Structure 1
Amino acid sequence: MIHVFTSAAINYLPKVRILFESIKKYHPEFIIHLALPDKKPDWFNAPNEGIDSIITIEDLDIPNKTSWIFKHSIVELSTAIKPFVLNYLLKREDCSAVLYFDPDIVLFSRLDDLIGELNTGSILITPHLTKPAPKENLDSIRDHEIYSSLRNGIYNLGFFGVKNDENGEAFGKWWSERLYHFCQDSPETGLFTDQKWIDFVPVYFNGVIILKNARFNVATWNLSTRNIQGFDINSITVDGKPLGFYHFTGWDNGSHLLQAQKYGGHTETVSILLNWYEQKIKKDSIAEKNTWGYGTFSNGKPIVNNQRLIYRSRSDLQAVFPNPFEATHSHCYYNWFNTRAIIEHRSLFK
C-alpha cells in the first residue's frame, strides 16, 4: 500500500486540509498521515481530520529530541523531520512506497503515471525547472534558474516518492543523517533546509527517476515554461495533459501572487487557480488561533533566532542545558543567554 504524508504545524491546518481533501478525492486508496512538528493540542485528532494517523516527533527515532527541536525554526523543523517520518513509514509491513507532498500543494487529477514510475525506480524527485528560460527573459533566469535552482537546489522537495526497497531505505537513512545535523536555512553556508542535499541523490543512489512531466509540481518557478490552460478548476491542462498537482508556495507572504501574476498573469487559468485557492483558505480560520508550540520558553517568553543559532553552534551549551526550553530555574539556558550571549557572541548583536 502507498502511504502519503505532509509535514506541518497546527497553524498550517487550513492548507493541510485542502491537500488531504484532494488526495482523498483522487486517491482514496492512499493511507494518509500528518507529521506534526508542533505540540499536539488536546482537541486535535486523526479521526476528526479524516486521516489515518498523526505522527508526532515523539514517535520518531531522533536522539536528544528536546535539544534538537530547539535548534530549529518552525520551517527548519518542519523540513528536518521529513526523512525521519519516511524511515518510520518504511518500517511498516503494509508499506510499498511513501509519497510526500508539501501542505500547500493540491492534487487536481489522479497520479497513476507517477506511481507507475515506482515499478522501475526507487526514488522520485521533481526539478524546479524542466526547460530553460528563453535567453531574452532575464527576469525568469534570475528568479528561477539562479534563485530557485542554483541557490535553493535543483530539485523541489515539495514532493518526493520513495519505494520500500534497498535503494529507498538507503536514501532515507542517509538523508536523516544529514538533516539531523544540517537542516538549516543558512544561505551563507550554502544550505536551504532539507532541499539542497537532494542535489546529491542522482549521484549517490541507484533507481533515481527525475520526473520531467510538466503536469507535476506546477508552480510559479516554472509557469513561464509551461502552457497552462482551462476555465474549469477540474479540467485544467498543462502542455496538453491534465494538471497533476499545483504548488501554492509562498501564499501567506504574498510572493506567490506576485510571481504568478508576473509569469502567468497573461492566462485566465492562473487567475482561476489563485481565486479558487483563496476561497478555500478563507473557509478555515484556525491559522489565526494557534501559535507554534515550540516557539516559547517555559516562562512564556518568545524564542528569538539568535537564541537558537547560538545554542545550535555550541556543543558545550547543549551538554549543560539539555532542555533549553526550561526557563524557570536560575541555572538555565534562558538566563545564560540574557547575561553571557552578548559578551561571547557580540557580532550577532550589531
Structure 2
Amino acid sequence: MTELNTAIKPYCFSFLFKKGVEYAIYLDPDIELFGNMGEVFDGLKQHDAIVTPHLLTPYFDEKQPSEIDILSSGTYNFGFLALKNTNSSIRFVEWWEKMLLEYCYSDIPNGLFVDQKFGEFASSFIDRTLVLKHPGYNVAYWNLHERRLEAIGKKLTANKMPLQFFHYSGVPEDVRYVSKHQNRHFVKIGSLVYSILDSYSRRVKDIEQNTSKDLRPDYQYFDNGSSVLDLHRIALRIAETSLEIEPSGALKFQADVFFRKKKLLLKMSTRHEIELYCEPIIAAALYLRPDVLNYVSLEPGRYPHSLRQWFDSTGHLEFGLTQNDLTFSDKSAAKQPDFGKQLLIGSQRAIPAPIKKILPKSLKRQVKHALRFGYGFKQTRHHSPDQYQQMLYDFISRRDVTAHPVTRLEHSVI
C-alpha cells in the first residue's frame, strides 16, 4: 500500500498542471497544519520547487536515526513538496513518473526508498529549487533534537518561529516514545510535544472506532484472507508478473505465480545479477537474505536444492510464512542429498583436523551430528584456530543439537 500511495505523487502533480493549476503542494496524510505556510506561497513566486530537508544540524550522538539512516532514506523529506507549473517542474515530474513505474519500492541497500530517494535530484533537475530551512516546517522525530517547541499565547513555535506543520511519522501506542522509528526522544506526560502527539493519537483512534471493521486497505490481503507480505511483492517483481484483483479489492492468490519453477534473472544490485531456475518465492527469499549465498551452491540452469531446503526448513518462518503456506508444485525438489552437505558450500563440512585432535569423543559426536543436519561453521581469515575452537564449544554449550536438527545460529550459521 505504501508503494502505491507514494507512486501516484508525480501523477497527481501532472494531473493538476494539465488542468492549469499554477501551484501544487503535496502533504503526507500524517501531517497536521498549524500555520498558513506563508513562506511557501511567497517562495513559489520566485522558485519552481520548494523542498524541506530532514535535518538542519548533525545529531552528535549514537542513537537512531543516525545521519547514515537519513542519507539512506533521502536528504529531503517528500512528505512535503511544492511545485510551480513551469517547464522545469514538468520535466522533473515526467521523469519522476517513469522512475516510479519500476522503482517505487524500498530497497535501502541498493539505494531505493519508494518515491523519496528520487527527490535528491530535485535541486539539480529543477532550475530554481528552494531548500526551505524554516524550523517550523516538517517538524518530526528526526529533527526534534534541533527544534524547541513552545506555546506562546495561543501560537505554537519552533525555535521562536511559527510552527507551520508537524509530521506524525510512526507515532506509537505510547506517544511518550514519539515514534517507532527512533530511540532518541522520550517525552514526559504533560510536555508540549506529548500534548501534540496525544491529541493526534486520540483523533486517529476516534476515526478508527467509527470506521467499519470490515474495511481493509486494498492490496494488503489475498482472497484467501492471508496477508500480502514483502516476500510476495518481491517475488512478483522478480517474476515480472502480476495478480488478478477480485471485485472486493483483494488480490487473487495464484499459487503457480509464486511456487512454480521458471527461469529468473535476480537483480541483487545494479551491478550484480544471478540467473536462477527456481520458484519466484525462493528467489525473493534470496533477495531478502543475500547472506545465504555464503552457504548455498548455485549453478546456472540447475535447481538450487540447498536453497530450497533452507527455505522449507526454517527460512520461510523469517518472512511470516507458515508450513501450510508452502504450496510448491514440485514437492520432490526438497528431497535431495543431505541438507548439510548441500548447504555448507564454502564452509566446513567436517571437523577440521587441528580441532578434531583436541575435542573429546562426546563433543566430536555432537559436532558431527550438527554438521550432518545442516549446521555450518564458516572459518574465515577473521577467525583464528582458537576462535574457531571456541565457536564450536559455544555452539555445543548453547544448543541441544539432537533436539534441534535444523536451527539458524550465530557465527555465520544457517
TM-score bin, normalised by smaller chain: 0.5 to 0.7
Q: What corresponds to 1:127 in structure 2?
A: 53
Inter-partner Cα distance in structure 2 for 1:261 and 1:231 = 28
Q: What corresponds to 1:36 in structure 2?
A: none
CA drift of 1:260 comes to 7.9
Runs of 4+ in 1 over 6 A off after TM superposition: none
Inter-partner Cα distance in structure 2 for 1:299 and 1:305 = 17
Deviation digits for residues 257-314 of structure 1, max 9, x if unmatched? 4678843627921112112212222321256722122223456554333222122123
Deviation digits for residues 141-196 of structure 1, max 9, x if unmatched? x514121x211110001100011111221111111111111001112221111111
Q: What corresponds to 2:160 in structure 1?
A: 240
CA drift of 1:102 comes to 0.5
CA contact 1:296–1:325 (8 Å) conserved in 2: no
Inter-partner Cα distance in structure 2 for 1:150 and 1:179 = 19
Q: Which range moved further: 98-107 or 264-273?
A: 264-273
1:145 aligns with 2:67: yes
Q: What amino acid is aligned across from residue 18 of structure 2 in structure 1? A: K
Inter-partner Cα distance in structure 1 for 2:163 and 2:142 = 16
Match of 1:116 among 39, 42, 60: 42
Q: Unmatched 5+ residue regions in structure 2?
A: 263-276, 286-310, 316-414
Distance verdict in 2 for CA 1:323–1:257, change over 3 Å: closer
Distance verdict in 2 for CA 1:282–1:336, change over 3 Å: closer
Q: What corresponds to 1:344 in structure 2?
A: 279
Q: What amino acid is aligned across from residue 171 of structure 1 in structure 2? A: F
Q: What corresponds to 2:84 in structure 1?
A: 163
Inter-partner Cα distance in structure 2 for 1:253 and 1:81 = 29
Deviation digits for residues 223-277 of structure 1, max 9, x if unmatched? 1011211177x51111111110000000257663467884362792111211221
Distance verdict in 2 for CA 1:300–1:259, change over 3 Å: closer
Distance verdict in 2 for CA 1:203–1:253, change over 3 Å: farther
Q: Which range moved further: 294-303 or 155-164?
A: 294-303
CA drift of 1:335 comes to 3.0
1:256 aligns with 2:178: yes
Bigger fraction of residues in strand: 1
Give the SS at the match of 1:100: strand
Structural mapping, 1:306-317, within 5 Å: 306-315=231-240
CA contact 1:226–1:239 (8 Å) conserved in 2: yes
Deviation digits for residues 109-128 of structure 1, max 9, x if unmatched? 11112111000101111100
Q: What corresponds to 2:384 in structure 1?
A: none
CA contact 1:231–1:272 (8 Å) conserved in 2: no
Q: What corresponds to 1:76 in structure 2?
A: 3
Inter-partner Cα distance in structure 1 for 2:97 and 2:183 = 37
CA contact 1:124–1:162 (8 Å) conserved in 2: yes
Inter-partner Cα distance in structure 2 for 1:259 and 1:293 = 25
Task: Give the TM-score normalised by the residue count of structure 2.
Answer: 0.57
CA contact 1:185–1:191 (8 Å) conserved in 2: yes
Give the SS at the match of 1:106: strand
Q: Which has the larger radius of gyration?
A: 2
Task: Give the TM-score normalised by the residue count of structure 1.
Answer: 0.67
Give the SS at the match of 2:52: strand
Inter-partner Cα distance in structure 1 for 2:74 and 2:9 = 17
CA contact 1:264–1:270 (8 Å) conserved in 2: no
Inter-partner Cα distance in structure 2 for 1:187 and 1:260 = 17
Equivalent pairs, count:
262
Q: What corresponds to 2:191 in structure 1?
A: 268
1:104 aligns with 2:39: no
